[in-house]
Structure 1
Amino acid sequence: MQNRWFRGVITIVLVVLFISTLMDILNARTAQVQELPYSSLITASLKHQVTTADVNPSQHVVSWTNKQGQHYQTVYAPGETNTLSAELNKAGANVTVEKPSSSFVWIGLIGDFLPVLIVIGFVFFFFRQSQGGNRMMSFGKSQARLQADNLPKVTFADVAGVDEEKQELEEIVDFLKNPKRYLDMGARIPKGVLLFGPPGTGKTLLARAVAGEAGVPFFSESGSGFVEMFVGVGASRVRDLFEQAKKNAPCILFIDELDAVGRMRGAGYGGGNDEREQTLNQLLVEMDGFGVNEGVIVMAATNRPDVLDPALLRPGRFDRQIMVPRPDQAGRRKILEVHVANKPLDSDVDLDVIARRTPGFTGADLANLANEAALLAARERRKKITMKNFEEAAERVMAGPQKKTRVLSAFEKRVVAFHEGGHTLVGMLVPHGDPVNKVTIIPRGMAMGYTMPLPEEDRYLVTKEQILDKVAMSLGGRAAEQIVFGEISTGASDDLEKSTKMVKQMITEYGMSEELGPMTYGTRQDQVFLGRDLVRQRNYSEEVASKIDQAVRHIILQQYERAKNILLQHRATLNRIAIELIERETLDAKELQEILRATT
């Protein structure tokens, strides 16, 4: 708004300066000639002293020259042009009468009406400012957007992989369509629905689907849209948002990223006077205070439910809390069907295989996967998307694009081949390891190469033996380097970090250590001034901490020796895998099984 004020004032000043400069230029010649009264001109003409006279009827001015060559200017009365010209002719002067010019007329009119034009310009400028609804006064208005009717509506058919969550929300839709059925039974629909879960699982899409199914107005706002640097603005926007929602009831009011405004009070240096806390207080009052919000259902989404204020989560506010998890294999299959519906697929594309090869992918990841596959097919000038395009897209999403320009030396290529061969061989031979789907020494992202295990099914529980097998597989690369080259490289740094983390969790969180027993070591402590970020605090002595460190070291060394023994027993297989990787750069599951059968 300040920029618009500044531009308006600058424009008016420039116009005034332009008109003033133009008038000065036109009058410059007049200002340089000596002006004499009318009587002096008549006296000079009677004495036959006037040689030339230039009469300007439009300005009632005559410019004349005497016999000495001196120039003068005289103003005469309107209507005296003809009489003056006749007298000068009698006196023997060379008289010229200029024709009236329209430009001088217009300049005169502009000069007369310029103050009026400036006033009209100011009035018009202020009118335009107020026409948009006085922005200074609307600063505390809500910035929520009402979904337009002409936009394509999202329904439950557009949301896949979250069948149980959709069932929970169908009750909300049914209430918005048939409220009398519930009111007659004395039932009260939940005032608020909180959707929480990892990023990209479809929380916002579910909220839009509820609005699309119910056919009611849908207001959307982000949590950060309430909080401003000016005190009181957030609370004002909350009030205005609920007023708009009440006028359009029944409706759905959706707040995305609720944790931006709903963090626990006291989690800051501003205390109770903090602007964010005032905004949260107003939100709590609007959701369940003395006011009545019949027909207004508040939905919110967040991936940090642990930092929300407990007052938001109590019954009467967000009554229903729905966890939106990562989809399982069947859910991934349905999500892929939605995202490939408008894409031409080749006959070799198997969505079941793609779903099985993408454990842990969210709905957003799968949408990105389908889009990347389409981009790769278009880049190759194909008319249909092939299975190879999907496999390459999955690797791009998980590990990044290929670094074809990163050229490894012969020695580095050999080290990477044996390193990845060590991971692969240990992963294939441990009893609880996931089948290795692919191994490559083509650099991707920050990795020089990688091994891709593929779980046969989704797992929700992990046993101690499975964790130990994963640790052994992670250490297999370092063990292979030591066996073959007698030294180790920096390529195992990420493997060591993952192994240490898994073993430490196994001991301190899962109680899987025989030495320390079935106990949990460390508690989750709420750090108020860090916004309730959950960190693990020690609740044990230095003696116990030393035992934990010893147990972690013992298990890691034990699994490292285990990996070395497996590789030493199958050294021929390790050599064959490494040689094939150096020559072909990539091996799939079928080729790895053939090498294993041929060398054992």
Structure 2
Amino acid sequence: MGGSADARNASKAAGKLISKEMYELLKLAEEEQGLDESGIVRRIEWRCDFEDTAEEIRDFYFGEKNCVIPVFGTVEHAPTEKMKNNNVNVRNIADIRGFMEIIRKENVLFAVVDYIHGLENAENELDVEDVRTIGRDVFLRLREEDKEVPVYILDGIRGHYYTEKEKNALMKKGAAGFIESKRFGKQLERTYMDVCCRVVMETLTERHQVLTYGTKREFDTKANVGSIIFCDFKLETAVESEDKSAMLSDDLRPNKSWNDIFVSKDLKRELEFFIQYLRKPKEYKKAGVKPKGVLLYGPPGTGKTLLAKVAAAESGVNFLSVSASELFNGGPEKVQDEFRIARKYAPAILFIDEIEAIGTKREYSAVPNPILNALLVEMDGFISRDDKPVFVMAATNYIEKIDFALIRRFDRLFEMGTLDEKERKLQLERLIKKQSDRFDISDEMVKSIVDRSRGLAPAKLEKVVEAALREGIRSGQVIKDDLFDEIFERCILGEERVDRSPGERARTAYHEAGHVLIELYYGRTPTYMSIVARGNHGGYTQFGTEGWDSTQKYYLERISAALGGRAAEMVYKYGLTSGAASDLDSAKEIAANMVCKFGMYEEEIGLAVIEAEELKYNQKAKELINRILSEQLEEAINIIEANKDAMERLVKAVMENGKKYLTKKEILEAAGGLNRK
């Protein structure tokens, strides 16, 4: 069902289907009990099995829901069960203004008009060409203002039945058919189902889709009743051979949903609105809505392409995907060809990935960009149809490079950033749950990974889980905390360096314990402490987000914590090492911001912002920054001197537990109470 087959072809195909299914059913009946007089098939039932069928397809068969059928005139009727179940509101009204208001503002499936409403003493010999009535005025006005709403004429009202000549005249004026007033209820329901069927066929034709199905047969030997059952209903796109390379085929359509991605409520709400617009453009056209597209931007791995896959799966409309590099290589002709195909199979979504390849700001180059010009012209939509829209989704990692004229073509810009703590936890739990038989991860480890994955793209976290699965399959073991932790560290920071001496590991343990101790002293607990050497560092401490503040006191404490490793090395006589290089960079950046941007040292340096280039020549500011660092280093040394017992406990715990790392819970247990005098 669907596509562009004409009535003759459809009737011929239906005849073949009936013959084939009847033949197969009779064969089944003969196999079951033979076909003598006692075993003759008494009845054949045709029915549908909608188990596991998409809701949209079920709606095709059960009729339009939540719609209005306005009836201009007065006719008595009782709503049928089917129409009540579908929330179809049949509304009698004899006021022209009210009737037209319903047509304009509500979801009208079709209308019924008493053409001779307002005429006194109607007679059978009345010529419809000459009649001047309120009903006629409503009919003509409706045909003029909204030609898409089917209009049916009440026949037999007040004893007047239209002749064939009159019916032909009304059909020429735009009447869709006639409904007898004496059998109004039954004929209204039949008309309702006919219109619903027509809507389905028009929808499928507009989408270039066909509804496919399978059949099965059953035979009840006791009742001698056979059943021919339609099942396995699916929507498939009817694509012409020359367009197949551009269209995403139904079997390749991504099996993704909103549950597979984490986006803001605003983005999801807007995209769901656009998807509904693509499904029912005529309804939104009445409200003056005509979206063109959305531009997704953000760092790599934040879900821009995945969001496009969700839109492809959720919308149900035709989906075309092309990279901007393909458009660049194909030139303006390729742009025009992609939009030609999209319009042909509209409503459709056209996804353009890495759009910066063709959409860079023209101010960066004096060379004309005909490809961008072609894209701008196509998105303006001079040759598009409102009822067959093309919606453009584009993605870029470099929003700052996109031409302003191109940005203006999009209805919304959405930033795809990294996930917050709650979203990271949900993503990790969902990924693990998909392969729950291969994971045995504690809640504490999940929390630890969530804390350490702050700032990671969602795709990176997914790669970690995939790497853990591969390792579990290779080793033939269930993935537990220690293995998962090792995989995470390896994916993010690199392989462990195993060429270190016991003395180097001990120094790293004191260094990291120094960071941890200072943080604990100020009432904040690090989420992770490791002495495993990876990449260009010998270990690291992951600070938590608790107690975040923007005061001078908070920033000074962060400087002390950053210098805690250097302070520990000094207290335990390791001397000055290069291990504190990155710590010094971090501490200097905080101190420089306090002095140059935050205005926290007004008396010493003033409130004016000092730019980075200016700082190179501002000796007073540099001296102040160095003084802050020295003072906070001294404070860190004093804290460690006063809490050597806690330091030793932390070092012993991380050196002797075999894992070479401590979680937040283990850090608290090892440190114990601190001396805060």
Q: Verify same fold: TM over 0.5.
A: yes
1:128-139 matches, within 5 Å, as none
Task: Report the alpha carbon displacement of residue 511 of structure 1 after superposing the two structures with TM.
Answer: 4.4
Aligned to 2:592: 504
Aligned to 1:117: none
Contact persistence 2:514–2:647 (CA under 8 A) = yes
Residues 1:409 and 2:501 are matched in the alignment: yes
Which one of the candidate residues 347, 351, 358 is aligned to 1:261?
Answer: 358
- Structure 2 distance, partners of 1:363, 1:465, is 34
Task: Report the alpha carbon displacement of residue 266 of structure 1 after superposing the two structures with TM.
Answer: 2.4
Going from structure 1 to structure 2, the CA distance change for 1:388 and 1:211 (only over 3 Å counts) comes to same
Counterpart code for 2:423 = G
1:469-508 matches, within 5 Å, as 469-485=557-573, 487-508=575-596
1:176-200 alpha-carbon deviations (Å, 9 max, x no partner): 1111221111222x21201122321
Counterpart code for 2:585 = E
1:143-163 alpha-carbon deviations (Å, 9 max, x no partner): 984322112534433433214
1:9-20 matches, within 5 Å, as none
Residues 1:552 and 2:625 are matched in the alignment: yes
Task: Report the alpha carbon displacement of residue 510 of structure 1 after superposing the two structures with TM.
Answer: 4.4
Residues 1:436 and 2:526 are matched in the alignment: yes
Going from structure 1 to structure 2, the CA distance change for 1:235 and 1:503 (only over 3 Å counts) comes to farther
Aligned to 1:227: 328
Task: Report the alpha carbon displacement of residue 573 of structure 1 after superposing the two structures with TM.
Answer: 2.7
1:439-458 matches, within 5 Å, as 439-456=529-546
Going from structure 1 to structure 2, the CA distance change for 1:446 and 1:279 (only over 3 Å counts) comes to same
Range with bigger deviation, 485-494 or 167-176: 485-494
Residues 1:192 and 2:290 are matched in the alignment: no
Task: Report the alpha carbon displacement of residue 565 of structure 1 after superposing the two structures with TM.
Answer: 1.9
* TM-score (normalizing by structure 1): 0.64
Range with bigger deviation, 578-587 or 297-306: 578-587
Task: Report the alpha carbon displacement of residue 488 of structure 1 after superposing the two structures with TM.
Answer: 0.9
Contact persistence 2:440–2:479 (CA under 8 A) = no
* TM-score (normalizing by structure 2): 0.57
- Structure 1 distance, partners of 2:615, 2:349, is 52
Contact persistence 1:197–1:302 (CA under 8 A) = yes
Contact persistence 1:329–1:355 (CA under 8 A) = yes
Aligned to 1:166: 268
Going from structure 1 to structure 2, the CA distance change for 1:413 and 1:308 (only over 3 Å counts) comes to same
Range with bigger deviation, 470-479 or 287-296: 287-296
Contact persistence 1:156–1:166 (CA under 8 A) = no
1:193-592 matches, within 5 Å, as 193-228=294-329, 233-268=330-365, 271-273=366-368, 277-288=369-380, 290-292=382-384, 294=386, 295-314=389-408, 317-345=409-437, 346=439, 348-350=441-443, 353=447, 354-382=449-477, 384-403=478-497, 406-431=498-523, 433=524, 435-456=525-546, 462-485=550-573, 487-514=575-602, 515-516=604-605, 519-522=608-611, 545-584=618-657, 585-592=660-667
1:286-321 alpha-carbon deviations (Å, 9 max, x no partner): 21264437511111112221221111222xx11211
- Structure 1 distance, partners of 2:479, 2:363, is 53
Q: Percent of counterpart pairs with the same letter?
A: 34
**Structure 2 SS opposite 1:436:** coil
Counterpart code for 2:393 = M
- Structure 1 distance, partners of 2:341, 2:297, is 26
Going from structure 1 to structure 2, the CA distance change for 1:144 and 1:205 (only over 3 Å counts) comes to farther
Task: Report the alpha carbon displacement of residue 253 of structure 1 after superposing the two structures with TM.
Answer: 1.0
**Structure 1 SS opposite 2:391:** strand
**Structure 2 SS opposite 1:334:** helix
- Structure 1 distance, partners of 2:504, 2:244, is 56
Residues 1:157 and 2:258 are matched in the alignment: yes
- Structure 2 distance, partners of 1:355, 1:542, is 39
Counterpart code for 2:493 = A
- Structure 2 distance, partners of 1:582, 1:390, is 20
Going from structure 1 to structure 2, the CA distance change for 1:447 and 1:356 (only over 3 Å counts) comes to closer
Going from structure 1 to structure 2, the CA distance change for 1:304 and 1:503 (only over 3 Å counts) comes to farther
Aligned to 1:57: none
Which one of the candidate residues 167, 176, 179 is aligned to 2:278?
Answer: 176
- Structure 1 distance, partners of 2:616, 2:649, is 48
- Structure 1 distance, partners of 2:596, 2:335, is 44
Structure 2, unaligned runs of 5 or more: 1-241
Compare CA radii of gyration and give the structure with the larger one.
Answer: 1
Contact persistence 2:647–2:671 (CA under 8 A) = no
1:51-130 matches, within 5 Å, as none
**Structure 2 SS opposite 1:150:** helix
Contact persistence 1:144–1:220 (CA under 8 A) = no
Counterpart code for 2:544 = L
- Structure 1 distance, partners of 2:664, 2:418, is 26
Counterpart code for 2:398 = R
- Structure 1 distance, partners of 2:543, 2:424, is 18
**Structure 2 SS opposite 1:162:** coil
- Structure 2 distance, partners of 1:471, 1:293, is 61
Contact persistence 2:615–2:622 (CA under 8 A) = no
Aligned to 2:183: none
Counterpart code for 2:480 = T
- Structure 2 distance, partners of 1:172, 1:438, is 43
Contact persistence 1:266–1:272 (CA under 8 A) = no
Counterpart code for 1:339 = L
Task: Report the alpha carbon displacement of residue 547 of structure 1 after superposing the two structures with TM.
Answer: 4.2
1:158-180 alpha-carbon deviations (Å, 9 max, x no partner): 43321412122101100011112
**Structure 2 SS opposite 1:445:** coil
Counterpart code for 1:437 = T
Going from structure 1 to structure 2, the CA distance change for 1:555 and 1:221 (only over 3 Å counts) comes to farther
- Structure 2 distance, partners of 1:362, 1:235, is 34
Contact persistence 1:419–1:476 (CA under 8 A) = yes
Aligned length: 425
Going from structure 1 to structure 2, the CA distance change for 1:307 and 1:462 (only over 3 Å counts) comes to farther
- Structure 1 distance, partners of 2:355, 2:489, is 33
**Structure 1 SS opposite 2:294:** strand
Structure 1, unaligned runs of 5 or more: 1-140, 523-535
Contact persistence 2:452–2:542 (CA under 8 A) = no
Task: Report the alpha carbon displacement of residue 280 of structure 1 after superposing the two structures with TM.
Answer: 1.9
Contact persistence 1:195–1:322 (CA under 8 A) = yes
Contact persistence 2:496–2:533 (CA under 8 A) = yes
Contact persistence 2:646–2:672 (CA under 8 A) = no
Going from structure 1 to structure 2, the CA distance change for 1:521 and 1:596 (only over 3 Å counts) comes to same
Range with bigger deviation, 506-515 or 365-374: 506-515
Going from structure 1 to structure 2, the CA distance change for 1:518 and 1:195 (only over 3 Å counts) comes to farther
- Structure 2 distance, partners of 1:547, 1:166, is 51
